[in-house]
């Protein structure tokens, strides 16, 4: 049953799908609604015409009021899926009301159906008021009043049965109530859409403000950090020139070493900035990544630092497979492991643990150490660009910003947990575990 219902729903969506030329969401909804309404009217007309076949025959049924309504509705239907759907509704409203008058004039207003025929007129106005401008509805109302008054002049008779008239008025009242509820729900839906768009715009605006602030900080820091090694190089070039003239070989070697270190610092900074700019623009194809294997590969790359600091590393053997850019994810692990090993402080038994924990339906990965720890007030700050809690420490302050951006491009989150200085740190992150 569900299969057939889904097929029917897909078929209906196909019949009412708006044209690609309609880009506004509100217009797309209105066009789809107009197409749906006309299709429903066409189905009801067809059903009514078929029901009259035994009494009037196929010719009589299709040339009667219901047949005329069916053909006019189907003629207007194609326009409802385009930007001309307003014209389609106007054509339908005129032809649908005209069908009622046509039936009254040609078939009379017998008690069994004459009152029902009059429903055509208010329905046409109700549909028009849902889609057209007030002026168009006013014009249609005037045409209907004029046509209603003119019925006797064309040989038609209006229903005289008081019960039939009361029934028609009551039915029209219920239709109007239903329309009012429909319009109210439609306005609520539009208001909800506007609120969602507004919330999205506010979020985008906030994000842009953060990016502008980050760009300003980036510009200032880059100019400062690039200028610093340049000043160093310039200063030692002057000293080198002087030492060469005085043939001070020992000082010459010292000058050259300091110039090389300054150049290396500048090169490292530029390389990391270039790497940061590539995230989100240049990426390898997403693939399944075994995090346990990736952790061991990252550890191998950092073998020298790990051994020189006598760090013991534990990697959980059951880390799940994730889905993403393997190269970027390795950068995440390498940065987090390197940071953990770098900031062990005076810990006599330095340890790093790479593992996972389950929180509800979410898998949280972590790199945990028993090193220096981080004051809670700096937990968010450390992920900023060029943020270093200790300005004298090695590094450029780009590593954790790089990690954060990689995780976010994988639609994940990253944060740090630490009770404070001397109590170790746990860097936690989430990432997509499904392709």
What does DSSP assign to residue 151? G
What's the pLDDT score for residue 267? 75
Asked if 430 and 413 count as a contact pair (C-beta separation under 8 A), the reply is yes
SS3 352: strand
For 353-380, what is the mean pLDDT?
Answer: 89
For 105-114, 295-304, 396-405, which range has the lowest pLDDT when averaged over its residues?
105-114
pTM for this model (two decimals): 0.46
CB-based burial, 396-430: b 16+ in 10 Å, e otherwise = bbbbbbbbbbbbeebebebebebeeeeebbbbbbb
Question: What is the torsion angle, in degrees rounded to the nearest 10, for the CA atoms of residue 321, residue 425, residue 369 and residue 283?
Answer: 40
Q: Strand 312-315: give its sheet, edge to edge.
A: 312-315, 351-359, 362-369, 425-429, 414-417
- Of the two residues 40 and 167, the one the predictor is more confident about is 40
Confidence grade of residue 386 (pLDDT, cut at 50, 70, 90): low
Q: Does 264 score more than 70 pLDDT?
A: yes
SS3 351: strand
Confidence grade of residue 112 (pLDDT, cut at 50, 70, 90): very low
What's the pLDDT score for residue 354? 93
Asked if 330 and 431 count as a contact pair (C-beta separation under 8 A), the reply is no
SS3 315: strand
Interatomic CA distance for residues 341 and 414, integer angstroms: 19
Specify the DSSP element, H or E, that contains 425: strand 425-429
What's the pLDDT score for residue 172? 56
Q: Does 143 score more than 80 pLDDT?
A: no
Give the whole-number percent of the chain exceeding pLDDT 70. 70
Go through the domains of the chain in sequence order and give each one's CATH number: 2-160 (no CATH), 208-278 (1.10.287), 287-429 (3.30.565.10)
In degrees rounded to 5, what are phi and psi of residue 321? -80, 135
- Tokens standing for residue 305: 């630092």
For 71-75, 242-246, 363-367, which range has the lowest pLDDT when averaged over its residues?
71-75
For 233-238, what is the mean pLDDT?
Answer: 81
Give the whole-number percent of the chain exceeding pLDDT 90. 9
Confidence grade of residue 149 (pLDDT, cut at 50, 70, 90): low
What integer best gives the mean pLDDT of the chain?
76
Contacts of residue 274, defined as CB under 8 A and 6 or more positions apart, other chains included, come to none
What angle, rounded to 10 degrees, do the helices at 65-80 and 25-51 form?
160
Confidence grade of residue 158 (pLDDT, cut at 50, 70, 90): low
* Residue 209 CB-density burial (10 A; 0-12 exposed, 13-18 middle, 19+ buried): exposed
Q: Report helix, strand and coil shares of the chain as percent, to nearest 5.
A: 70, 10, 25
Among candidate residues 295, 339, 291, the one with its CA nearest the CA of residue 314: 295
179-233 pLDDT, tens per residue?
Answer: 555 566 667 777 888 888 888 899 888 888 877 776 776 676 566 666 667 777 7
| DSSP character string of 182-200 | HHHHHHHHHHHHHHHHHHH
Q: Does 314 score more than 90 pLDDT?
A: yes
- Tokens standing for residue 406: 């990689």
What's the pLDDT score for residue 356? 92
């Amino acid at each position: 049953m569900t299969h057939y219902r889904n097929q029917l729903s897909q078929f209906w969506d196909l019949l009412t799908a708006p044209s690609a030329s309609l880009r506004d969401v509100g217009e797309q909804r209105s066009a789809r609604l107009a197409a749906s309404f006309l299709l429903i009217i066409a189905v009801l007309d067809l059903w009514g015409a078929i029901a009259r076949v035994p009494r009037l025959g196929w010719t009589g049924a299709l040339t009667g009021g219901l047949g005329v309504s069916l053909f006019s509705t189907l003629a207007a239907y194609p326009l409802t899926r385009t930007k001309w759907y307003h014209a389609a509704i106007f054509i339908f409203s005129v032809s649908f009301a005209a069908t009622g008058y046509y039936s009254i004039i040609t078939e009379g207003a017998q008690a069994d159906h004459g009152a029902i025929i009059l429903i055509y007129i208010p329905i046409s106005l109700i549909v028009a008021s849902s889609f057209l401008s007030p002026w168009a509805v006013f014009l249609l109302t005037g045409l209907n009043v004029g046509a209603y008054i003119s019925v006797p002049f064309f040989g038609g008779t209006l229903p005289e049965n008081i019960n039939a008239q009361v029934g028609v008025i009551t039915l029209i009242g219920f239709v109007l109530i239903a329309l009012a509820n429909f319009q109210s729900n439609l306005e609520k839906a539009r208001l909800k859409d506007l609120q969602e768009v507004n919330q999205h715009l506010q979020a985008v605006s906030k994000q842009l403000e953060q990016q502008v602030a980050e760009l300003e900080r980036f510009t200032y820091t880059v100019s400062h950090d690039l200028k610093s090694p340049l000043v160093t190089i310039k200063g030692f070039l002057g000293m080198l020139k002087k030492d060469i003239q005085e043939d001070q070989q020992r000082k010459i070697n010292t000058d050259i070493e300091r110039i090389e270190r300054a150049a290396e610092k500048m090169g490292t900074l530029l390389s990391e900035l270039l790497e940061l700019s590539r995230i989100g623009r240049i990426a390898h194809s997403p693939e399944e990544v075994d995090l346990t294997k990736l952790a061991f590969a990252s550890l191998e790359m950092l073998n020298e630092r790990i051994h020189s600091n006598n760090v013991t590393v534990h990697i959980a053997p059951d880390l799940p497979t994730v889905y993403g850019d393997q190269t970027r994810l390795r950068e995440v692990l390498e940065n987090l492991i390197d940071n953990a090993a770098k900031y062990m402080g005076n810990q006599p038994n330095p340890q790093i643990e790479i593992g996972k924990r389950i929180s509800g339906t979410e898998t949280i990965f972590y790199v945990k150490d028993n090193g220096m720890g981080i004051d809670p007030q700096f937990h968010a700050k450390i992920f900023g660009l060029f943020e270093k809690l200790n300005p004298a420490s090695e590094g450029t302050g780009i590593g954790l910003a790089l990690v954060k951006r990689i995780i976010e491009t994988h639609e994940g989150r990253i944060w740090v947990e630490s009770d404070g200085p001397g109590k170790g740190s746990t860097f936690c992150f989430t990432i997509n575990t499904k392709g």
